[in-house]
Amino acid sequence: MDFLINILELFGIYAIVTIGLNYQIGNVGIMYLGQIAYFAIGAYASGVCPVILKAAPIPSMIIGVLISLSLAYASGKIFVRLSGHYLLIASLGITEIVRSLINNSVVTGGAQGITITGNFFGQNFFAAKHEMVFLVFACLLLEIWFFASLKNSPKGRLFAALKEDETLVRIMGNDPIKLKIQAMMITAAWSSVAGSLFAHYSLYIDPTSFTINESLLLYIGILIGGLASLKGSFFAAFVLIIIPVVLRFVQLPGSIVSAAHQLFFAFLILFILKFYPNGLFSNNYGTHTK
C-alpha cells in the first residue's frame, strides 16, 4: 500500500510538470524546455530555505516560486526572440547552468545532495507520507482548474492565438513578446511548485535528478501523449513513472535490467510516433503535420 501511494505521489508530481509544459508547448507554442531548471529551483528552495532562513515549508515553497518566476522572466527577456531550434538549445542551456551551479555551490550540498528537513504537516509527524498524496493531488487539481479556466479566459485565447499567428496578435494591439514571457512564467511557477513537492516526497535531493536528459524525457513524454491535451499530459507522467515500476516486476537478469527498460521505452516511443504521429491523445487541435 505504501508502495502504491509513493508511486501515486510521484505520478502526481510529474503530472504537475507535464501539464504545465504541455500547456506551454501545445497551447502557446513555445518550444522552451527549461522546466527542469525551475523544478530544481523549487526542490532546492524547499531543501535550503528551512536550513539557512529557518523558514517553514510553505514560505520556502513560495520563495522557490519567486526565484523561478524571476529566472523565467530574465531568461524569457533574453531568449523570447529566438524560435525553434535556437530556443530549444537555449532552454537546455538554462537547465545545465542551473544544475552545474547547484552542483558546485556549498549551500546546496554540491554533488552530495541535501536532506530535506521539516514537512508540511509539522516537524515530528512521521506518518506525513500519506498526507503528501492529498497535498500532491490537491495541487494537481488546482493546476488543472487553473489551466482550464486560463484556456477560456481572454488571456488564454490570446495565448492560443499566439500559437496560430503572431502577427495577428500584434495587429490586435497585444505584445507577443510580453505574452510569451507571461506564459513561460506561468509554467515556471507550476514546475517550481512540483519541485518543492518532489523534495518533500523524496526527502533527499541531489543534482543528478535535474539533468538535460530529464528535460528531454519530459518533452518526449508530452509529444507521445499528445500536445495540448490533458490526457496526453497524464499519459506522459504515466509513461515516465508507472512503466518503469511495472517493468520492475518483470524478472530480468540484473546486468541488463536497466538497459532492457530503456530499450523498451525507446521502442515504445518509436511505435507510438509511427502509428499516432500527433500523440496518443491528440485532440487534433492545431494538427502538427506540415
Q: Which of 7, 8, 82, 280 touches another protein by CB under 8 A? A: 82
Other C-beta atoms lying within 10 Å of the C-beta of residue 2: 8
Report the candidate in 168, 160, 158, 29 with the shortest Cα–Cα distance to residue 88: 29
Report the candidate in 171, 174, 170 with the shortest Cα–Cα distance to residue 154: 174
Q: Report helix, strand or coil for 126.
A: coil
Asked if 105 interacts with another protein (CB under 8 A), we say no
Asked if 157 interacts with another protein (CB under 8 A), we say no
209 Cβ contact list (under 8 Å, min separation 6): 40, 43, 198, 202
Asked if 208 interacts with another protein (CB under 8 A), we say no
**Closest approach of Cβ 80 to another protein, in Å?**
10
Which listed range, 42-50, 133-141, 193-201, 270-278, lies at the site for another protein (CB under 8 A)? 270-278
C-alpha cell at 6: 509513493
Q: Half-sphere exposure of residue 86, counting CA atoms within 13 Å on the CB side? A: 6
When the beta carbons of 8 and 243 are compared against another protein, the nearer one is: 243
Adjacent-strand bridge partners of 205: 114
State how far the Cα of 201 lies from the Cα of 46, in Å rounded to an integer.
11
Asked if 112 interacts with another protein (CB under 8 A), we say no
Asked if 215 interacts with another protein (CB under 8 A), we say no
Q: Which of 10, 224, 237, 239 touches another protein by CB under 8 A? A: 224
Asked if 210 interacts with another protein (CB under 8 A), we say no
b vs e for 142-178, b when ≥16 Cβ sit within 10 Å of the residue's Cβ? Answer: ebbebbeebeeeeebebbbbbbeebeebeeeeeebee
Binding-site string for another protein from residue 229 to residue 268, where x marks contact by CB under 8 A and - marks none? --------------------------xx--x--xx-xxx-
**Closest approach of Cβ 82 to another protein, in Å?**
6
Other C-beta atoms lying within 10 Å of the C-beta of residue 251: 6
Q: Which of 1, 3, 54, 85 touches another protein by CB under 8 A? A: 85
Q: Which of 51, 66, 97, 158 touches another protein by CB under 8 A? A: 97
**Closest approach of Cβ 147 to another protein, in Å?**
21
Rg (alpha carbons) of the chain, rounded to whole number: 19
**Closest approach of Cβ 92 to another protein, in Å?**
7
Which listed range, 13-21, 99-107, 149-157, 161-169, lies at the site for another protein (CB under 8 A)? 99-107
State how far the Cα of 173 lies from the Cα of 188, in Å rounded to an integer.
26
Residues of this chain that bind another protein (CB under 8 A): 78-79, 81-82, 85-86, 89-90, 92-94, 96-97, 99-101, 103-104, 212-213, 216, 219-220, 223-224, 227, 255-256, 259, 262-263, 265-267, 269-270, 273-274, 277-278, 288-290
